[in-house]
């Protein structure tokens, strides 16, 4: 689908709610450019930048990265996409971040994935990662072909520090305390749409139908 004007969306949900998977389907189906805060974090951490080391310390302790650091990193990338339609995955996570985004760009819609915390705990603690690429496997529903090894490189998989049961609990509490107010912020702005479920494949058709309707409406308005 070729849009007649710039369309910009945010996808939200707790860590492990399937934001990455749904984001990939949105970008493939609707042609939006995907900006993942996780990709930007990994790049800085892998390159061991000063901000990357600070962020790794926060993540390992189950804490959110400071607002000013995240906003500076994400908005820097968005400035290079002034004439593009995009989907933000993993940002904003706090009201100050949302306000910083609104100051710079107009957000058309916010997709919220509402997945029960117990489902996420089971999903994340079963997750193993190939650190050099960020490829993620789940021993329950997306296992590697050879247990403990990456499918493409054959290198060892590890359980990230932030996927251990204790840290997952801390991350979910941090999300609930600091990120939930962002949902209310966007709800009050009239741009929030929430999709509830325990499996990504059950949530996706509803997200797809909503965006088809939303984008068709956009196309009609500007025709």
Cα-Cα-Cα-Cα dihedral sign, residues 140, 141, 147, 150: negative
Which residue in 8, 19, 56, 123 is the catalytic one?
Answer: 19
Would you say 200 is a known binding-site residue? yes
Q: Annotated binding residue at 175?
A: no
19 annotated to bind ligand: yes
Distance CA 88, CA 37 (A): 8
Residue with tokens 């450019």: 33
Annotation says 19 is catalytic: yes
Per-residue burial over 112-135, b = 16 or more CB atoms within 10 Å of its CB, e = otherwise: bbebebebbbbbbbbbbbbeeebe
Which is catalytic among the residues 25, 121, 135, 160? Answer: 160
The residue to which tokens 């247990």 are assigned: 147
Q: Is 42 annotated as a binding residue?
A: yes
- Is 5 catalytic? The answer is no
User: Per the annotation, does 187 bind a ligand?
Assistant: no
97 is in an annotated binding site: yes
Name the token pair of 93.
């996570």
Say if CB 172 and CB 117 are below 8 A apart.
yes
Q: Is 93 annotated as a binding residue?
A: yes
Are the beta carbons of 111 and 193 closer than 8 angstroms? yes
Half-sphere exposure of 174 (CA within 13 A, CB side): 19
Tell whether residue 65 is among the known ligand binding residues: yes
- In the residue annotation, 93 being an active-site residue is answered as yes
Residue 102, classified by CB atoms within 10 Å of its CB into exposed (0-12), middle (13-18) or buried (19+), is: middle
Say whether 165 counts as a known binding-site residue: no
64 marked as binding residue: yes
List 8, 56, 93, 123, catalytic entry: 93
Q: Which of 8, 56, 123, 127 is catalytic?
A: 127
- Confirm if 110 and 193 have CB atoms less than 8 A apart: yes
- Catalytic status, residue 123: no
Which of 8, 56, 123, 171 is the catalytic position?
171
Known binder of ligand: residue 160? yes
Which residues does the annotation place in the binding site?
A: 16-21, 37, 42, 63-65, 90-93, 97, 127, 136-137, 160, 171, 200
Task: Output the known binding site for GTP.
Answer: 16-21, 127, 136-137, 200
* Binding residue positions for AMP: 37, 42, 63-65, 90-93, 97, 160, 171
Query: Which residues are the active-site residues?
Result: 19, 93, 127, 160, 171
């Amino acid at each position: 689908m070729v849009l007649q004007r710039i369309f910009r969306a945010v996808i939200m949900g707790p860590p492990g709610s399937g934001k990455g998977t749904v984001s990939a389907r949105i970008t493939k189906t609707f042609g939006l450019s995907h900006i993942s805060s996780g990709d930007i974090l990994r790049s800085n951490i892998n390159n061991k930048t000063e901000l990357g080391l600070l962020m790794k310390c926060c993540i390992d302790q189950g804490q959110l990265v400071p607002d000013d650091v995240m906003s500076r990193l994400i908005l820097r990338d968005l400035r290079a996409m002034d004439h593009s339609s995009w989907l933000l995955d993993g940002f904003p996570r706090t009201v100050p971040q949302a306000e910083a985004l609104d100051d710079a760009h107009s957000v058309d819609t916010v997709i919220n994935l509402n997945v029960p915390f117990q489902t996420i705990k089971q999903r994340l603690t079963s997750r193993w990662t190939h650190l050099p690429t960020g490829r993620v496997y789940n021993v329950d529903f997306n296992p590697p072909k050879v247990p403990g090894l990456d499918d493409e490189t054959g290198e060892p998989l590890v359980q990230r520090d932030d996927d251990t049961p204790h840290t997952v609990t801390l991350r979910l509490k941090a999300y609930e305390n600091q990120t939930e107010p962002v949902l209310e912020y966007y709800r009050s702005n009239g741009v929030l749409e929430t999709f509830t479920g325990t499996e990504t494949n059950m949530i996706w058709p509803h997200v797809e139908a909503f965006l088809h309707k939303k984008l068709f409406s956009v196309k009609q308005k500007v025709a």
